[in-house]
Amino acid sequence: MMRLPKVNHRLSFLSLPPFSLPSLTTSVRTHGHLRTHHSKRFKSISTMPCRLGNLVPLNSIAAENVVSRSNASVSSTSTTEEEEALACKYQLPPPEIKDIVDAPPLPALSLSPQKDKILFLKRRSLPPLAELARPEEKLAGLRIDGKCNTKSRMSFYTGIGIHQLMPDGTLGPEKEVHGYPDGAKINFVTWSLDGRHLAFSIRVFEEDNSSSKLRVWVANMETGQARPLFQSPDVYLNAVFDNFVWVDNSSLLVCTIPSSRGDPPKKPSVPSGPKIQSNEQKNVVQVRTFQDLLKDEYDEDLFDYYTTSQIVLASLDGTAKEVGPPAVYTSMDPSPDQNYLLISSIHRPYSFIVPRGRFPKKVEVWTTDGKFVRELCDLPLAEDIPIATSSVRKGKRAINWRADKPSTLYWAETQDGGDAKVEVSPRDIVYTQPAEPLEGEQPEILHKLDLRYGGIYWCDDSLALVYESWYKTRRTRTWVISPGSKDASPRILFDRSSEDVYSDPGSPMLRRTPAGTYVIAKIKKENDEGTYVLLKGSGATPEGNIPFLDLFDINTGSKERIWESDKERYYETVVALMLDYEEGDLLLDRLQILTSKESKTENRQYFIQKWPEKKACQITNFPHPYPQLASLQKEMIRYQRKDGVQLTATLYLPPGYDSSKDGPLPCLVWSYPGEFKSKDAAGQVRGSPNKFAGIGSTSALLWLARRFAILSGPTIPIIGEGDEEANDRYVEQLVASVEAAVEEVIQRGVAHPNKIAVGGHSYGAFMTANLLAHAPHLFCCGIARSGAYNRTLTPFGFQHEDRTLWEATTTYVEMSPFMSANKIKKPILLIHGEEDNNSGTLNMQSDRFFNALKGHGALCRLVILPFESHGYAARESIMHVLWETDRWLQKHCVQNPTDASAELDACKDEVSKGVRDSDNQAVVASGGGGPELADFEHEGFYSLPR
């Protein structure tokens, strides 16, 4: 589960397919801001010596003119090629791959609050390594750029274009936001409530770095003219946590660097004493392998230095007023009526074993001008949150303003001490209370839940939807409540398995209120007094996803499908409601929605559809990002595992490929396992065969340009039904799933049986190493990026594993490919970021695994990328990763001389007999191809079901 996004956001953002973003850039919408950043590490460039034939570290050469170009195919085994492979220089992949990665990215889009304008937020291509090499501080799970006083490695926008949405549905000519310095880096773009102004941050890097801190600018949306918000040039933004938010149409609340702050604290040349940690009280404290933690008192002082902010209330007329004392503020949320502020901060005592999300946390209510009203809670340090999934912090959590009320708060409180293993009813209680309650007025119980609270969609006093879920059973429930009526009993609207995507009814569409919050949109039908809402869903079916929009009667449960995606050729989705800012219920006959439309070979475009005729008007015309692959072939294929579980994968073939004429191709299988509680759910089809083939900068699909067949995302369900733990049969199910996938592509005649490679990132790298150890007959080589290979190094859980190493020793040991390094005989390429900050995948994992492989004479190669984190960001790094991967595939897959037919026959015999090695045991998996389980899953923030 993931952090619950606030539904009272003040910005609409339209995301483009994966190709349009640098592959390892995240875009996050928080408090109405568009935040784009890379979670990577900075440090000064250092040159490391090479050890030829062993580990090959790469010199940190950041300039394009020192990149050694190697466009020739590595099908040649010449001395020159081998010398290049061992040289400590960044390389470029073949031009057919490089040109795709270097293609200019498409802009991000943002709708104005009144849906009358669209911003085109322009982006650059991959950043140079020099940007990643900027110094940074690792503090409390954060990586901070001290020069900018913000999180490290933020990407940015290079320009903002304004397009008017014309009455006929087309876009008017572009008007550029102007007035800011040339070369400025733009971040945190957010609309004012009335859509007349835009606020954003600007940073400009001078040669002496004197102007690298962020300043807040505002732009007039009619003229495009931008200017600084503050009259003084010495007011800088502190963007380590929250940054700024519109309070009303003419003023913003801004986290600034305190004007009284001096130079950073200096590290003592001699420590004041030893580093001591103690547990003399015998507390049970189990934590995951968090990285970048505070180490000593100096780190604590440095953390305070960079994270302490002074909140300032600034007006567009130039006036500014400090609000409250300086503190480590983590969020500031104005109430919908603009009279109050919900202020969160963290404070000492800090911890050396958990990140900042578990530090003592205080939540207060202030008036907008900074007058203290009351303290809602002051939560103590939380080092002892249980590792079991669905465990949360004790005390008040998920404190927010009601989106449908002027200034009413709500929150959840656990009744099980935050421990998911404790059986209690109710498990969570949701409370509500005015910002300033009357003397003696206690919080009102809004709803009691037996599962873990998952969020609320508000509408009005007669309607709200409350979500609860429980990971262990995958159960999710949606309740209908009437917040303003004590006599109306809550009732369950939906009760289902979160894994059962076929039964997903969708989620309610939201409309914007005049206060800038978002509530459930009520729909009115002519001559009908029913209470209708719109449910938007992905529409999973055995034929693939067919997104839909249903008109749903809350009272009767009846529904009418009023819109559905094209089923044959296109993949369409509902993006947003238009005209949602109008007062009163929305009329069905005047409904307008923004949709997207794409196909296997056609880029995503946006359309406006109007009722009752439902005529679609196209408003964008983005070009194909890589026309050289415009005619690639894509098919969603289905096959079956030996235990009867239905599996799917997406098969991509190069443009113009004909199996009858061209014969089988070398094939790259790229995947990431997922964990399930039932075979039926595991076998359900997810995704769509008609989606556009977006290609990120490190995507396996790049090798279509090298005439590979690509089997993308073959489902690898690891199933633990009932009380069974999925991890205890991980290897068995992993091998069975991939055997079925490999047999399918061979039987289709598109993949050469002895030229099939396997690869993956993070947990996919773990998968790759296990497959080469336990199913060497299937693959000729493997590529494993940023993985963890020894689970004894993550002893207090990983992914969704709730047991510790001491509770499941056999599972931890036998599932680790490190323990089977002696069995890996096929070539394996290991790649890892030197500064990996992901929980569980510290680069020591690859280093130790490489040494174990080398100690058994395995054909292996380890590439450590300077300055890179869990994902790779710099152009030099990414291009070299592609060069390494292409070289590995050409040498060990395309040129593979081994006749694998005998091995394949032996494999089939083995499958039919049900023979397995004694060590075919276990591991875990999380779905979705994401990173290791993050700490925020234990902080009480969950995704609303979709």
Residue 845 CA: distances (Å) to CA of 271, 275, 665, 802: 31, 26, 33, 21
CA 6 centroid distance within chain: 16
> To 10 degrees, the CA torsion angle through 844, 845, 851, 856?
170
Our answer to whether residue 836 is catalytic in this structure is yes
Catalytic residue among 345, 390, 762, 846: 762
Q: Are 481 and 466 in contact (CB under 8 A)?
A: yes
Partners of residue 460 on adjacent β-strands: 463
Residue 785 CA: distances (Å) to CA of 69, 445, 777: 23, 49, 22
Is-cis flag, bond preceding 931, omega within 30? no
Catalytic residue among 447, 761, 777, 870: 870
Our answer to whether residue 870 is catalytic in this structure is yes
Catalytic residue among 728, 836, 926, 938: 836
* DSSP calls for 683-736: TS--S-TTS-----TT-GGGGGGGT-EEEE----EEE--TT--GGGGHHHHHHH
Q: How far apart are CA 511 and CA 586, in angstroms?
A: 9
Residues in CB range of 371: below 8 A, 6 or more apart:
none
Q: Are 862 and 714 in contact (CB under 8 A)?
A: no
| DSSP 3-state of 670 | strand
Q: How far apart are CA 394 and CA 409, in angstroms?
A: 19
Q: Are 613 and 546 in contact (CB under 8 A)?
A: no
* Neighbouring C-alpha atoms within 13 Å toward the C-beta of 353: 15
Partners of residue 475 on adjacent β-strands: 470, 497
Is-cis flag, bond preceding 426, omega within 30? yes
Q: Are 849 and 789 in contact (CB under 8 A)?
A: yes
Q: Are 64 and 125 in contact (CB under 8 A)?
A: no
Question: What amino acid is encoded at 629 in this protein?
Answer: L
Q: Are 184 and 203 in contact (CB under 8 A)?
A: yes
Q: Which helix (H) or strand (E) holds 914?
A: none
Our answer to whether residue 31 is catalytic in this structure is no
Residue 479 DSSP label: E
| DSSP 3-state of 553 | strand
Residue 778 CA: distances (Å) to CA of 450, 745, 759: 46, 12, 13
Give the catalytic positions in this structure. Answer: 762, 836, 870
